[in-house]
């Protein structure tokens, strides 16, 4: 389970998260939607302790991430997979080396790491590219490699940062199918932050809107589709005139 309670995070005078509460039950996937600059990525980085919260509590699998020492943080992170917004592949490594990197840290033998990397690359539909460099791939392929790297160690927790942003509809559908398949097979607890509403409604068990530093509303995809809430309607239908004035991006 992932649980955030009263989490606040700001940068200087700019408050991004203000007393945010969130619970993701074990094995379920929560999609956090919201406008650009509302702090979705910040929320995800607070869960992984890539950023320290100013106040509040972040718990992953019953462990308080905020108060963990560096050794405990590494242990918690080794149970997580993080898909970065722009894939964050290591430029100097081949695709194979990128995907194997989490296993090498765990001391898995090179032969076993190569076998598992080939398996997971085949699973994301990228068989035979292990010797290429990240710069030689398209944006969609890089995202898929990023997903392969995040799941190769079969993590208990999966954090997706804008997995479909900037992709064409077909590649988006491929990534969505991939996320659904991984959810089914790994049973990982996860958070997807995205402003791609269609993808969120398709992949997640529950969907929530991040607005003014807090989760504004939460429900199943069906409940969100049928919600009368003006913010949800504005977001789902993509109508700026429905969005309340002066309540957009906080950054």
Q: Which residues bind another protein (CB under 8 A)?
A: 45, 48, 50, 74-75, 77-78, 80-82, 84-86, 88-91, 101-102, 105, 149
- Structure tokens belonging to residue 32: 């956090």
Shortest approach of another protein to residue 221 CB, angstroms? 28
Cβ closer to another protein: 65 or 224?
65
Distance CA 30, CA 208 (A): 7
Shortest approach of another protein to residue 39 CB, angstroms? 16
Shortest approach of another protein to residue 118 CB, angstroms? 19
Cβ closer to another protein: 85 or 172?
85
Cβ closer to another protein: 112 or 223?
112
Shortest CA distance to 98 belongs to which of 48, 148, 157?
Answer: 148
Shortest approach of another protein to residue 98 CB, angstroms? 9
Is-contact 113 169, C-beta < 8 A? Answer: no
- For 69-220, where are the alpha helices, taking DSSP H only? 70-77, 95-105, 110-123, 139-151, 169-186, 197-203
Is-contact 101 82, C-beta < 8 A? Answer: no
Cβ closer to another protein: 82 or 235?
82
Distance CA 228, CA 123 (A): 39
Shortest approach of another protein to residue 84 CB, angstroms? 5
Cβ closer to another protein: 92 or 240?
92
Is-contact 2 47, C-beta < 8 A? Answer: yes
Cβ closer to another protein: 91 or 241?
91
Shortest approach of another protein to residue 24 CB, angstroms? 18
Shortest approach of another protein to residue 233 CB, angstroms? 33
Cβ closer to another protein: 81 or 213?
81
Distance CA 26, CA 29 (A): 9
Shortest CA distance to 130 belongs to which of 118, 138, 140, 139?
Answer: 118
Is-contact 195 209, C-beta < 8 A? Answer: no
DSSP 145: H
Distance CA 21, CA 214 (A): 7
- Structure tokens belonging to residue 120: 């997971």
């Amino acid at each position: 389970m992932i649980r955030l309670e009263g989490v606040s995070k700001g940068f200087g005078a700019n408050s991004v998260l203000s007393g945010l509460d969130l619970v993701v039950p074990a094995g379920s996937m929560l999609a956090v939607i919201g406008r650009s600059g509302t702090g979705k990525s910040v929320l995800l980085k607070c869960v992984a302790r890539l950023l320290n919260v100013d106040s509040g509590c972040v718990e992953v699998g019953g462990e308080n991430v905020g108060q963990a020492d560096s050794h405990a943080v590494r242990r918690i992170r080794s149970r997580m997979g993080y898909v970065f917004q722009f894939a964050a592949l290591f430029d100097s490594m081949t695709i194979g080396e990128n995907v194997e990197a989490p296993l090498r840290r765990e001391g898995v033998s090179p032969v076993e790491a190569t076998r598992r990397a080939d398996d997971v690359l085949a699973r994301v539909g990228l068989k035979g590219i292990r010797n290429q460099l990240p710069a030689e791939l398209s944006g969609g392929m890089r995202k898929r490699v990023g997903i392969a790297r995040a799941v190769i160690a079969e993590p208990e927790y999966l954090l997706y940062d804008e997995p479909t942003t900037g992709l064409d509809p077909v590649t988006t559908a491929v990534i969505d199918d991939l996320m659904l398949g991984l959810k089914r097979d790994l049973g990982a607890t996860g958070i997807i932050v995205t402003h791609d509403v269609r993808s969120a409604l398709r992949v997640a068990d529950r969907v929530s809107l991040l607005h003014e530093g807090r989760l504004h509303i939460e429900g199943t995809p069906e409940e969100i589709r049928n919600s009368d809430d003006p913010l949800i309607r504005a977001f789902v239908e993509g109508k700026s005139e429905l969005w309340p004035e002066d309540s957009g991006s906080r950054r």
